[in-house]
Amino acid sequence: MLNRTDEFLEDALYIRDLAKKHNKFFEESIPLIASENIMSPMAMEMLLTDFGFRYAEGLPHKRYYQGNYYVDLLEDRVIDLGRALFNSKYIDPRPLSGTNANMGVLYAFTKPGDLISTPALSGGGHISSASFGAVGFRGLKTVNYPFNVDEMNIDIDGTIKVIRENKPKICWFGQSVFLFPTPLKELNDVFNEVNCKVVYDAAHVLGLIAGKQFQDPLREGAEILTGSTHKTLPGPQHGIIVGNGSEEDWKKVQRGIFPGTLSNHHINAMAALGITMSEHLEFGESYAKQIIKNARLLGEELNKYGFKVLGEKNGFTKSHTLAVDVSENGGGKYVAETLEKCNIIINKNLLPYDNNKKSMNPSGIRLGTQEVTRIGFKEQDIKYLAELINDAVIKHRDTNSVKDDVIEFKSQFNEIKYCFGKYKPYQYVEIFK
């Protein structure tokens, strides 16, 4: 290590040390945030390449910069992998995030003042489809679908009525709390009646869709599918748009991305996405099956311990996500903070009936099984995880004692699954000497 004492070097070393400590923290924790995952090291390696320092504005073979020969070959291959994975005509792997993908689609098909229909935030809708998110940024008006708490899904009859009465420019679907498939087939007649675009934000369930275990939006009524690529699809923090509509509409989408809502598209992350998609073509179906199996079992086990797990009527979930009402256990904020002290990482979350609750202290929590499945959790591990959560939240066992058990338990999971090669997760790779 360098022997300098320069104050700015000290700042840099401090930041580097935080990264090491962060890695160590997650190595010793059970990660259950439904919107996160870890990449395979082959995909992670791409983030460190020279791709990350270059510009490639435009489309392959039609760039505004020179020096893109290998970038064009890369993007061609990533597009081919995406088409194969999603069985689609079109793929745009350039968006920087799921929200950026949504913005590009909104830019393509709407103008300020247009009305679109969206899931309500209280029903699990994502902030990008809210008036204070990307939708509002585009200057759009919104109307929300009614939500059926018993089914933990949008209400079909009520949604048909909303669409018929309001005739939105776009019918937008997809949520951040996404337990069950959206009833697109049941809504097709009204889509055709009002002649709207149908867009499905698949950010949370993208890997489940690609693994053929959730639903197939492009065959069920949606023209455009958007998503982030780092949740159930275990890739980089990036975005993607998938389409099966007309060539004319697709050109609008591409213009919505560039020059509409981005300039350069982070080529290193696109390379990591390509490797992730190739791995998902190989392992995605078995991975998605185990994610869902683990989530449903965790719901059953928590329910047995007395937790109020929503969606019981339909088996708690058909995705990676669980929503749990912990209002009788201290509330979402208390439970999330208590579990964090035990190195069990979840998030507090609004529930559909939290009309008078604030997002920082809601009734619920949200849990996801995609990352623990990625590192090898199977049924017996999920049962023990439920026991640890019960110990901390209902039995009020000392958090330090639970934390010790969590660290010991987590030490058994030393390999990233469902990818090429054998690698240990949460490792810090040193380059600077």
Sorted by where each begins, the domain ranges of the chain are: 44-277
pLDDT band at 5 (very low <50, low <70, confident <90, very high): low
Of the chain, the end-to-end C-alpha distance in Å amounts to 5
The answer to whether the CB of 380 falls within 8 A of the CB of 361 is: no
pLDDT digits (tens, 9 = 90+) for 42-65: 999 999 999 999 999 999 999 999
Q: What integer pLDDT is reported at residue 97 of this predicted model?
A: 96
Q: What integer pLDDT is reported at residue 355 of this predicted model?
A: 80
Question: Residue 135: pLDDT above 70?
Answer: yes
Report the distance separating Cα 365 and Cα 331, nearest Å.
Answer: 8
The full length of the chain comes to: 433
The answer to whether the CB of 339 falls within 8 A of the CB of 346 is: yes
Residue reference for tokens 């990676």: 320
pLDDT digits (tens, 9 = 90+) for 336-395: 999 999 999 999 999 999 887 788 889 999 999 999 999 999 999 999 999 999 999 999
Q: What integer pLDDT is reported at residue 120 of this predicted model?
A: 87
The answer to whether the CB of 260 falls within 8 A of the CB of 101 is: no
What rounded mean pLDDT belongs to the chain? 95
Q: CATH code for 44-277?
A: 3.40.640.10
Question: Residue 185: pLDDT above 90?
Answer: yes
pLDDT digits (tens, 9 = 90+) for 196-252: 999 999 999 999 999 999 999 999 999 999 999 999 999 999 999 999 999 999 999
Question: Residue 31: pLDDT above 80?
Answer: yes
Torsion of CA 340, 36, 429, 75, to 10 degrees: -170
Q: What integer pLDDT is reported at residue 176 of this predicted model?
A: 86
**In the structure, how many helices (H) and strands (E) does the chain have?**
15, 17
The answer to whether the CB of 371 falls within 8 A of the CB of 298 is: no
The continuous run of DSSP H or E covering 100 comes out as: helix 98-109
287, 269, 275: which is closest to 370 by C-alpha?
Answer: 287
| Phi, psi for 271 (deg, rounded to 5) | -65, -45
Residue 365's beta-bridge partner residues?
A: 324, 348
Q: What integer pLDDT is reported at residue 183 of this predicted model?
A: 97
Question: Residue 84: pLDDT above 80?
Answer: yes
Residue reference for tokens 């507090």: 348
Residue reference for tokens 């209280």: 122
